Every structure is written in C-alpha cells, then in structure tokens.
Chain A
Amino acid sequence: MRELHRFHGGLKLEGHKSESLVRELQQASLPPRLYLPLKQHIGEYNKPLVEVGDRVLKGHMIAAGTSLICASVHAPTSGRIAAIESHPVAHPSGQSDTCIVIDVDGEDEAAEPMPPDLQQLDAERMIELICRAGIVGLGGAAFPSSPKLSRGKAHGIDTLIINGVECEPYITCDDMLMRHYAAEVIRGVGYLQRMLEPKSTLISIEDNKPEASAALATALAGFPLDNTEIVQIPTIYPSGGEKQLIQILTGKEVPHGQLAFDIGLFCQNVGTCVAITRALEQDQPLISRVVTISGDNIHQPGNWETRLGTPISHLIELAGGYLDANSAQLVMGGPMMGFSLSGDRVPIVKASNNILVMRNETIPHSPGQHDECIRCSKCTEVCPANLLPQQLYWHARAQAWERTQEFHLFDCIECGCCSAVCPSNIPLVQYYRAAKSEIRAAQKAQLKSDRARIRFEFRERRLQQKKQQEEERRHLKREALQKKKAGGDASAQADPVQAALERVKARKQAGAEEESL
C-alpha cells in the first residue's frame, strides 16, 4: 500500500453520482446539424479548411491552427458544410463565436483510416499523430496535448500520473469511461509511457468508484505495464485538481509559477488516454467524448458518448427532457467550477464533461448580491491552494490588482470551496475571476501600448533623419551655387552645352537621392 499525503483544506461534498450511473453508457444518436466552434481549446484560433457546400467525411480535418499551441477540429460524421457562421457557444459570456455547421447526412461514412505501424513509431512521430488528431486534455482545461507532451518529454518525466479522480459532484463521465473502455485507457497509458519514459506510473482513482477501479485492474492484468500501479485515494474535493492530486500522491507541491513537469511529473486524464489510443491504433481523431447529463431537472440522467458539435438540446431530448422546462438552468461542468449557459442551443465541445440541468431555485452559486464578510476565515481553512481568500477578496473588491497578485491570485484554481463555505454567501470565486480578467486585459493593453510607443519613436527618428538629409542636400546645393557665382566669369567662358549637361546630371542625382529616402 502506497503512502498517501494530504493537501490543505478541501471539502467533503455530497456526490450526487449515483443518479447518472444507474444507466449504462449509451451512444448518442446523430442530430440533424452539428455546430463545431473553431476554437475548443486553450490557444490560438483555428482557420477553417473547408468551404460552404463541401462534402466532408467522418474524420476529415475541417479546421486547423498555425501556431504551436493549437488543436485541429475534425468532422464528427459525414455531411455537407451548411455554413460557417456565428452561433452561441459554451462560454461564460453567453456570446456567440464562429462555428462550422455541418448538415448531417446520416450515412456516417468515414474517411479511409490509415493506422500507422505501431511497432515502428518513435515518440516524435506519436506526438505528431496526436497533434493531427486534435487531442486536448479532456479533464476540463482543454489544453492541447501534443505541446504538453513534447515539453514534458524535453523536461524528463519521473512519474506519470493518470487522473481518474473526477471529484466534482454529479460528474460521472470518466467513471463510465473507465468502466467501459478500461482496456483502451490502459493501452493509452502504455503509449504515454513509450513517449515519456517515466520511472513509474500511478493511475489514481477515488475510492468512491470501486467498479471503475476493478475494471482498470482487470485490464492492467491483461495488458501488464512496467512499474504501473493503481492507487485509490480518499474522496475529497478537489483531489482531481492537478496540483492537489500531485500533492496527495507524491507529497510534492508544484512551486509558484511552475508547472508539473518542472518537478518531473506529468498528469493526464483517463479520457485523454482513450483518445490517444484511438488516434494511434485506429487513426481516429477526437470527434466524440463521453458527456454526463445530470441534475435535478432532467428525466433520465445518464452518460452518452456524444459527437462533438451536438447541440445540448438534442442530448436533453435523449435524456427524456426537462422536468420543468420553465425553470431550467443549464451549467456546463460541475456545480463547483462550472458556468451557466445561455441556452440549450450551445453545442458540446471537447471540454464539455458534464451538462448540469438544474432548477432555478437550486442553482449552486447564483452570482449577484451578497452580504458583508464577517472575517470568520472559513475560506482560508478550506482553500486547497493554501491562499488567503479573504485578503484576495478585499483587494479584488477594492480593485487593487497589484495587491491581489502579491497574494498570488493566479495560483487560485477557482475550485469554489471558499464560496461554498462562506456564511455571507459571498461569490468569492467570481471576484477572483473578475480580477483575473481585469489583470489580463490590462496586460494586453500594456503590450499594445508598448508596441505603439516603439512605432511612434521609430517614426519620429525616421522623420528626423529625413529632415537632416534634406537640410544637408540644400546646404550642398547652396554651396555649389555660391562657388559658381564666385567663379562667374570663368564659367561664362566655358562651353554652355557642357554646363547644361552637367546641370541635368546633378539634378538626376539629387532626384535619385530623394527617391531613396
């Protein structure tokens, strides 16, 4: 038995997991239209590779980025591109963003897969294939996997940690995935080991998922991996956070401003392992994911393997519809870290692990008005990042952005523990999110103004130079004129044709100089 450690704070929450686990994993049917946002990951925007009217097959790449941190988008089924237009997307702002709309033809015709020869693959080639498959971290952050893998490999990895913790209430998609695709998870771990060459691998799973844990153990027995261990950890929120999980398993803390691989660790979600297995073995890009539909306002909570781009309304229909459509409130993600959606037209994206369908009355944190802080310090006791939420709150409220950064605002993982225990119902996390977005906007503005300064100064210098050269030219001309005047008689005697030719030559030269300025 492995010795486990503790992280500071955390909460024991009511799981609400059984509701969506009573039904087996189902395949969601194809909706008539799919809406695929150009950007479903952290990083640069993708550019569409298709035009309206094109026919696409399942697995065709339809949008790709140019920068290092990008994840391409693929057609989840066959159909025709109906439009590339603005459509509501899963974003806390409730705004729309550019989506590729596919009219589904129902044939689900796939492009010819070209699985690589797995024995021949080296790590670089594998990472390249993962990049081409558009795989992002499916735990929620949606960071593109291939740059993470190449950076992790460059750093050298001591321990590979597979995250099957899924600590937030209501969400069961990873649990379901581990039960059904345990073998693919384990094979994915095997590929990660080939890429990263870690000394040991820990597959971590909370002790409230005995079935998933047993399934993984069976799969591991059938596909033995070196130095690989399944570790059950106690159920406490937010043990599934990367930094918290690292602390539980290794006792190490990721230092401020650094990432897990800076201390030789690499975390990957179980869903991402399955996506990697499918990409490498079947040449199948990331076009579907397991999504939980749960909450107290839905007929039949459950898990569906859903094509990306499926509108949430379609999934709600599959789950039997709302109990009370008039007071339905949709949240993407869990009740602690999720955000409210503007409506059910929003499509499922790579990061959508859970759709929480709640009644208006029971919505966990309705942002808005709150009472004053009574300085009880409960938030400090539960903060898993060891911050001082109360101090952060005062400074964020006073818009003292610099002070919030001194109190390490950007180390906040927005887990929502502080807001959950606050007796004054202060939506603390919302204060921190607001402060973070203000600071990011200020940094962006600063970058732009720095660039404007450089351009302004460069232009000033250029104008100055031009003026100086003009001055010099005029000076020379004047001198030449004076000389001519002084030697007036002599030049009058000279050949007038020769003089005219020389004048033209001088003028031409001056003109050429002017043009070169």
Chain B
Amino acid sequence: MLIAIATISLMAGLFGLILGYAAIRFKVEGNPIVDQIDALLPQTQCGQCTFPGCRPYAEAIANGEAPINQCPPGGQATIVLLAGLLDTEVLELNAENGEHLDVPLLAIIDEQTCIGCTLCIQACPVDAILGSAKHMHTVIADECTGCKLCLPPCPVDCIDMVPSPQTIEDWKWAPPQPLEPVRNA
C-alpha cells in the first residue's frame, strides 16, 4: 500500500517536473491559429472588414469576435478556406463590407494634378506610394494591393482606381462545359 502511494506520488512529481520544464522550454509565442488565418487572408490591408488590416481581422476571427464573411477582396474562395480551417459553416459574403471584384484594383496617381502633399503616402498600408513633400507622387504598381485607402486623404482627388492591367501571361484557359444530362420522362 505504502509502496504504491510512494511510487504514484514519485511519478506524479516527476511528470510534473517534466511538464513544467516543457511549458517553459517549448512555449509557443503568440497564437498559431492567428497565423494560419492570416495566411489565408488576401493581405490587401483595405480595412473593409472593419478591422485595421488583415492581421487584426485574423485575431478577431480567432477570438470569435468576428464572423468569417467580412473580407470582400478574398471573396467566397477565402470564406470556404476559412470555414475549412476553422471547421465552421460556409457563409455568404456580407454585402455590407463590400463586393468581391474578380480583377484586383490598382491605384493610379494623375501626376499632372498631384500637389505632393504626402497624405496618400502616409495612408498606404504597404508603402506602395513613392514621393516626397511638394514633389509628385507615384504608385509602385507591383506593390499596390488596391485597398483604396489612399483615396479619402487626397485633397485634390487625383487618384484613380483602375482594374489592374491583365497581360497575356495572366490569361487563363476556360474550363469546358458539360452538357445538361438528358432525363427520360
């Protein structure tokens, strides 16, 4: 009897020590699920989801504070992926957040009108606008995510959002159409 108690307590103590050590040694920094959600989001950083960027939205989803259908740039495809990751129901995209565009947008600065106020540079979430005070600004097309955040601060309305140009390289083969099955009456 005594031996049994002693053995069990010894083992409990030993395991406790191992667990305690592991908790310190293998501590996970941050919340890994946030990273996984963030990886699925399109990184447009547009804030249409009502959060200031993709990562904050990912955090909100992970904490159960936001539904998965608030990302218009990602569209239905992202919702399906998120539902798969989180094992939840697939929702329709919330129309209040905006609508999904098939071709991403690109900001173009009208260089004749730009007065060089730097306000758009400060608004750009991915540093895709180049320029300095009282000098013309321009958009680095490859880095622009089409988030539209540069539009409201512009005092002279010189920024246009256009569908990002599609080259012959972006062209996709169309899938064939199966015939409607014929049903005998």
Contact = CB atoms under 8 A, between A and B. Distances in A.
A431 B175 contact: yes
Nearest to B40: A449
Contacts of B143: 451-452, 455
Nearest to A430: B176
**Overall SS of chain A's interface:** helix
A397 interface: yes
B127 A91 contact: no
Interface string A445-459: 100111111011111
Contact of A434 (B38, B44, B174): B174
Given A371-B179, A452-B145, A433 B43 contact: no
Contacts of A135: none
B145 A369 contact: no
B25 interface: no
A34 B181 CA distance: 49
Contacts of B173: 92, 430, 433-434, 436-437
A329 to B, nearest CB: 18
Contact of B170 (A92, A435, A441): A441
Nearest to B177: A369
Contact of B178 (A89, A370, A449, A451): A370
Nearest to A93: B171
B168 A93 contact: yes
Interface bracket on A = 35 or more
Contacts of B170: 441
Interface bracket on B = 20 to 34
A430 B176 CA distance: 7
B175 A396 contact: yes
Interface string B28-48: 000000000010011111000
A426 B125 CA distance: 47
In this complex, the member of B143, B173, B174 whose beta carbon has the largest number of chain A beta carbons within 10 angstroms is B173
B49 interface: no
A434 B178 CA distance: 14
A437 B172 contact: yes
Interface in A331-384: 367-372
A91 B168 contact: yes
A458 B143 CA distance: 14
Contacts of B41: 449
Contacts of B125: 456, 459
A95 interface: yes
Contacts of B172: 434, 437-438, 441
In this complex, the member of A93, A371, A434, A458 whose beta carbon has the largest number of chain B beta carbons within 10 angstroms is A93
Contact of B54 (A91, A448, A453, A459): A453
A427 interface: yes
B178 A452 contact: no
A427 B53 contact: no
Contact of B127 (A97, A367, A431, A459): A459
B126 interface: yes
Contacts of A368: 176-177
Nearest to B44: A452
Contacts of B54: 453, 456
Given A371-B179, A434-B172, 20 more contacts: A96-B168, A368-B176, A369-B178, A426-B178, A427-B176, A431-B176, A433-B173, A434-B173, A437-B172, A437-B173, A438-B172, A441-B170, A449-B42, A449-B43, A452-B126, A452-B145, A453-B38, A453-B54, A456-B54, A460-B53
Interface of A: 89, 91-93, 95-97, 367-372, 396-397, 426-427, 430-431, 433-438, 441, 445, 448-453, 455-460
15 contacts: A91-B171, A92-B173, A372-B178, A397-B175, A431-B175, A433-B173, A434-B172, A437-B173, A438-B172, A448-B145, A452-B43, A453-B55, A456-B43, A456-B45, A456-B54
A-B pairs with the 9 shortest C-beta distances? A449-B43, A452-B43, A93-B171, A434-B175, A437-B172, A433-B173, A455-B126, A434-B173, A453-B43
